[in-house]
Amino acid sequence: MENIISVKDLSIQFGGLKAVDQVSFAIQKNEIFGLIGPNGAGKTTVFNILSGFYQADSGEIIFADKNINDLKPHAVNELGIARTFQNIRLFKGLSVIENVIVALQQREKHTWFDSLLETEKFYRTEKLLYEHSIELLKIFELDRFKDHFANSLPYGAQRKLEIVRALATKPSLLMLDEPAAGMNHSEKAELNDLIRFVKDKFHLTILIIEHDMKVVMNICNRIAVLHRGKKIAEGIPAHIKSSPEVIEAYLGKRQT
Amino acid sequence: MEEFFQHTLNGLSFGSIYALVALGYTMVYGILGMINFAHSEIYMMGAFMCYYFALFMGFSAPSPINFTLGLLAASLAAGMIGYLVEKFAYKPLRNSPKMNSLITAIGVSILFQFGGQIIFGANPKSFPTLIEDKNLFEIAGSQIHLIDLLIYGVSALALVGLHFVIYRTQTGRAMRAVSTRSDMTPLMGIDNNKIISMTFIVGSVLAGIAAVLVSIKYPKIDPMMGSKIGMSAFVAAVFGGIGSLHGAIIGGLLLGVGEYYLIGYGASTYRDALSFSVLIFILLFKPTGLFGSKMKEKI
Amino acid sequence: MNKLTKASLFLLGFIVLGLILNYFLNSYIHAILISFMINAVMALSLNFITGLADQFSLGHAGLMAVGAYTSAIISKELLSDQWYFIPLTVVAAGFASAVLGFLVSLPSFKLKGDYLAIVTLGMAEIVRVLILNWNHVGGPRGYNAIVKFPGFLWSYSFGLLVLTITFVTFFRLKKSWFGRNLWALNEDDIAAEVMGLDLVKAKRSAFIISSFFAGVGGGVYAHHLGYISPGSFSFLISVQILIMAVLGGLGSMSGSILAAFILTILPELLRSLPTGTVDIRMIVYPVILICMMIVRPQGLLGRLELIEYFRMKKWIKS
């Protein structure tokens, strides 16, 4: 099984704080890989480095046989990595379908010429964009909300929309940052199904940060655990669940 | 060689003025993230308020007392005007997008300039001689005047005072806190509004002092005097790293000296363009200025 | 009614209007009308970068100056004052300003923050000082005897053509994928980046296009007045253009035209007030600006276009 992305000795420091310290892991194609750890462990920082918002101080990231260390976020996305955010970054002033269209249109080739003269090609492209967006929304049963403002949607639907938007950019690796945050029990179960469905239908690899153990243990093929910037464990869910280092990181040292 | 020295001295003299004014820009930017375009007009008002104060007090003969009183009057007036501008024009916009504050600041600036022309008259006025200039002594062939020494001295005093306030008082500490995490400071019992007002007042007082210092050396004042120095001082602040106090001071001094070399060596008509060329150069290679730091946005 | 018919009707309407204006009004009003068109072009140009792309530009007077002087120089030196080449020089003016815009855009968008404001401020100042010291174009005395159109109908038609092209360009860009990108950039630039939107490229493109039309405005201005000087392109001019864009609504193209109209007519009405030598506009404008920012920062139309505004009003009433 080949690796879709491999991270080697990734480190970044903010002022005096080593937020990520020599972290290494590799994700195989089509697996669901979990990144967990107590608050402040550096998980979102790793995401930010992978997606191009931060430049790592040292280490390397190889994605699809390319070194992507110095790429800017939009270039990272063009290569095939999409991500969502912990605190949902939808385009609040835009409608649901407009949110998807903006994502979709990044992959389409438009020219200035056609837009200015409003040629046949312009109308065709606009129509296609619209139709593709509806199709995508239909898959997730969000099409009936298409003209609503994005932030008028119920919370769970907003999270779904963010994922739809990420998928519109045709990634091969999808990074989800705490997708279960704020969800109730049934919503979480739905989320598990959704993630599996998305992975299969769109042939994706998924990297997920999550705090909710039920979600993580349920859907992840493998998990890496971060604590204070360092990776302290990696393996299959059963292994992680019983690892003493992991338990200690979350609960503290056992007092005997 | 002695010419060089003379230019350096003049430059430092002007540079300290730039530094004083630049501090106002940098402090407001550091704490509110806005460019206070009206700051140069507060400087101008400092000069005019001192002028009218001198008139009102009937100052006839120059004396150190007159100078000190004039300085105080300008500082007080400038501080108060700065406070009022913040309270009525900027505070209502604190939660609006930054661009709105910028636009308002430009509006206030122009209003003061042209309102000043209407109220004070557009013609330059002669600033009263608050203190008599004397040729004190000579170093390396250059005459050292009392006025220049005063400029250095008072500026230095003002900067020391500022340093004391910022680093040794509770208010100063609060100011530094608000400029880094204004979302957290209310949780520590700090009243952001008071601190922001304080910042404006301090910056304006410095501008008022600078205005008097300039006016005793170049006694022609007019309602537009703020805009020329404002641009240069602002550039100095960005050059030094906007948001950094030390940057503003160093930037101001360097820019003042640089401009005086230009004047001294003949390219004076390009003086106005110098500051901006420096600015663009800096932005190309070190956009955060000499001492500025890149703020990492939380994602 | 298809597009061609609509366009032809508009054209007819404006020709008729032009003829009426020509015969029934005096040359003073003619001049104001052309002024309005130039102001509208400038306001549209600024609105595109500051309203849609949310990048504050304070140097549009500088871009206008480059356009004006470029077209004037070409007219006088290269084309020996032939008025029928004016459109050519105006297009050249646009390109000249676009080049300057490109240069300005290089350092301005690398970091987040108000850098464009600062750089454009500096750019306008540098341009002004350079022109002031360039004796070939008259320096402080200005550049004189620039050829004009031989009559109101010509300058009216040309002005209208330029304004229409400017408006349609910006309007269609706003509607298109580019406009959507700009909106996304405005709403949440981090989310936009993560979807593959190259922010720097988008902002740069917006600024270059804006600069082009600012130059065009300058070119038309030079050939309308016949005389240009560094004093005509001061920071205050940039501010006046800003006020128009803000009054109309940052982001509304039709709003800019409306505001340009209001603010070109208004000063004519104020001319009769006694204020001595001080231009009363310089008091009224800032007051308008400040009050608007506090009371109604979205200006007249906000981000909506005139037609959307009416539709919305109808929808609210129903």
Mean pLDDT to the nearest integer, A34-40: 88
What does the block give as tokens for C133? 């010291």
- Residue B147 DSSP SS3: helix
Which helix (DSSP H) or strand (DSSP E) does residue B11 occupy? helix B2-32
What pLDDT shows up at residue C274? 61
What does the block give as tokens for A32? 């669901």
Residues A10, A49 contacting (CB under 8 angstroms): yes
Which helix (DSSP H) or strand (DSSP E) does residue A27 occupy? strand A17-28
Residues C26, C194 contacting (CB under 8 angstroms): no
Judging contacts by C-beta atoms under 8 Å, the chain C residues touching residue A108 are 177
- Residue A225 DSSP SS3: strand
Highest mean pLDDT among A184-198, B76-90, C97-111: B76-90
d(CA A208, CA A83): 10
Query: Scanning the structure block, which residue is given the tokens 């304080």?
Result: B198
Judging contacts by C-beta atoms under 8 Å, the chain B residues touching residue A48 are 299
What does the block give as tokens for C292? 């608007």
What pLDDT shows up at residue A253? 64
Instruction: Please list, in sequence order, all residues whose beta carbon lies within 8 angstroms of the beta carbon of residue C273, skipping any fewer than 6 positions away.
Output: C280
d(CA C27, CA C133): 34
Contact flag A107-C196 (C-beta cutoff 8 Å): yes
Nearest by CB to residue C126, choosing from B118, B273, B297, is B273
What backbone phi and psi angles, to 5 degrees, belong to A81?
-110, 125
Judging contacts by C-beta atoms under 8 Å, the chain B residues touching residue A53 are 299
Per-residue pLDDT reduced to its tens digit, C250-275: 999 999 999 999 999 888 777 766 65
Residue B203 vs residue C20, higher pLDDT: B203
ipTM of the complex: 0.87
Tell me the pLDDT band of A201, cut-offs 50, 70 and 90: very high
Answer whether B294 touches A (CB < 8 Å).
Answer: no
Least confident of B66-70, B278-282, C287-291, C293-297: B278-282
d(CA C260, CA C249): 11
CA distance C290 to chain B (A): 5
For residue C287, count other CB atoms closer than 10 A to its CB.
15
| CA dihedral over B31, B35, B37, B39, signed as positive or negative | positive
Answer whether B296 touches A (CB < 8 Å).
Answer: yes
d(CA C318, CA C312): 10
Q: What percent of chain C has pLDDT over 90?
A: 47
Which helix (DSSP H) or strand (DSSP E) does residue A37 occupy? none
Contact flag B89-C290 (C-beta cutoff 8 Å): yes
Query: Scanning the structure block, which residue is given the tokens 């917006």?
Result: C206
Answer whether B296 touches C (CB < 8 Å).
Answer: no
d(CA B233, CA A194): 58
Q: For the range A15-20, what are the long-range contacts, defined as Cβ-Cβ under 8 Å and sequence gap of 24 or more?
A: A18/A229, A19/A45, A19/A229, A20/A45, A20/A46, A20/A49, A20/A56, A20/A229
Structural Rg of chain B based on CA atoms? 19
Tell me the pLDDT band of B91, cut-offs 50, 70 and 90: very high
Contact flag C236-B299 (C-beta cutoff 8 Å): no
Tell me the pLDDT band of C244, cut-offs 50, 70 and 90: very high
Judging contacts by C-beta atoms under 8 Å, the chain A residues touching residue C195 are 74, 77, 82, 102-103, 106, 165-166, 168-169
Q: How far is CA C253 from the centre of its chain?
A: 11
Tell me the pLDDT band of A16, cut-offs 50, 70 and 90: confident
Per-residue pLDDT reduced to its tens digit, C3-60: 778 778 887 888 888 888 777 777 788 888 899 999 999 999 999 999 998 899 999 9
What single string gives the DSSP state of each residue in B77-137? HHHHHHHHHIIIIIGGGTTS-HHHHHHHHHHHHHHHHHHHHHHH-SS-EEPP--S---EEE
Judging contacts by C-beta atoms under 8 Å, the chain C residues touching residue B35 are 114, 117-118
Residue B201 vs residue A1, higher pLDDT: B201
Instruction: Please list, in sequence order, all residues whose beta carbon lies within 8 angstroms of the beta carbon of residue B187, skipping any fewer than 6 positions away.
Output: none
Contact flag C196-A110 (C-beta cutoff 8 Å): no
What does the block give as tokens for A161? 């929309």
Nearest by CB to residue C133, choosing from B106, B269, B294, is B269
What pLDDT shows up at residue C306? 81
Q: What is the 3-state secondary structure (H, E, C) of B58-79?
A: CCCCCCHHHHHHHHHHHHHHHH
What pLDDT shows up at residue C246? 93
Instruction: Please list, in sequence order, all residues whose beta carbon lies within 8 angstroms of the beta carbon of residue C93, skipping any fewer than 6 positions away.
Output: C66, C67, C68, C70, C71, C74, C215, C216, C218, C219, C222
What does the block give as tokens for B234? 């602002």
Query: Scanning the structure block, which residue is given the tokens 């363009």?
Result: B273
Structural Rg of chain C based on CA atoms? 20
Query: Scanning the structure block, which residue is given the tokens 């909710």?
Result: A212
Nearest by Cα to B25 from B93, B88, B96, B109: B109
pLDDT over threshold 60, residue B298: no
* Beta pairing partners, C102: none
What does the block give as tokens for C134? 């360039």
Query: Scanning the structure block, which residue is given the tokens 């890149």?
Result: B294
- Residue B277 DSSP SS3: helix
What pLDDT shows up at residue B79? 95
Residue A106 vs residue C153, higher pLDDT: A106
Q: For the range B182-187, what are the long-range contacts, defined as Cβ-Cβ under 8 Å and sequence gap of 24 or more?
A: B182/B31
What pLDDT shows up at residue B59? 77
What pLDDT shows up at residue A86? 87
Judging contacts by C-beta atoms under 8 Å, the chain B residues touching residue C132 are 269
Residues B117, B54 contacting (CB under 8 angstroms): no
Mean pLDDT to the nearest integer, C200-216: 95
What single string gives the DSSP state of each residue in chain C? --HHHHHHHHHHHHHHHHHHHHHHS-HHHHHHHHHHHHHHHHHHHHIIIIIIS------HHHHHHHHHHHHHHIIIIISTT-GGGHHHHHHHHHHHHHHHHHHHHHHHTSSSSTHHHHHHHHHHHHHHHHHHT-GGGTGGG-B------SSHHHHHHHHHHHHHHHHHHHHHHHHSHHHHHHHHHHH-HHHHHHTT--HHHHHHHHHHHHHHHHHHHHHHHHHHHS-B-GGGGSHHHHHHHHHHHHHH-TT-HHHHHHHHHHHHHHHHHHTTS--TTS-THHHHHHHHHHHHHHH-TTTTTTT--HHHHHHHHHHHH-
What single string gives the DSSP state of each residue in C138-152? TGGG-B------SSH
Judging contacts by C-beta atoms under 8 Å, the chain B residues touching residue C187 are none
Per-residue pLDDT reduced to its tens digit, A162-185: 999 999 999 999 999 999 988 888
Per-residue pLDDT reduced to its tens digit, C122-181: 899 889 988 988 888 888 888 887 888 888 888 888 999 999 999 999 999 998 999 999
Structural Rg of chain A based on CA atoms? 19
pLDDT over threshold 90, residue B242: no
d(CA C66, CA C69): 5
Nearest by CB to residue C187, choosing from A53, A82, A94, is A94
Nearest by Cα to C239 from C69, C60, C44: C60
For residue A202, what is the DSSP state? Answer: H
- Residue A31 DSSP SS3: coil
Residues A223, A229 contacting (CB under 8 angstroms): no
pLDDT over threshold 60, residue B274: yes
Q: Kindly list the residues of chain A whose beta carbon comes within 8 Å of any beta carbon in chain C.
A: 51-53, 72-75, 77-78, 82-83, 85, 89-94, 98, 101-103, 105-108, 110, 112, 115-116, 118, 122, 165-166, 168-169
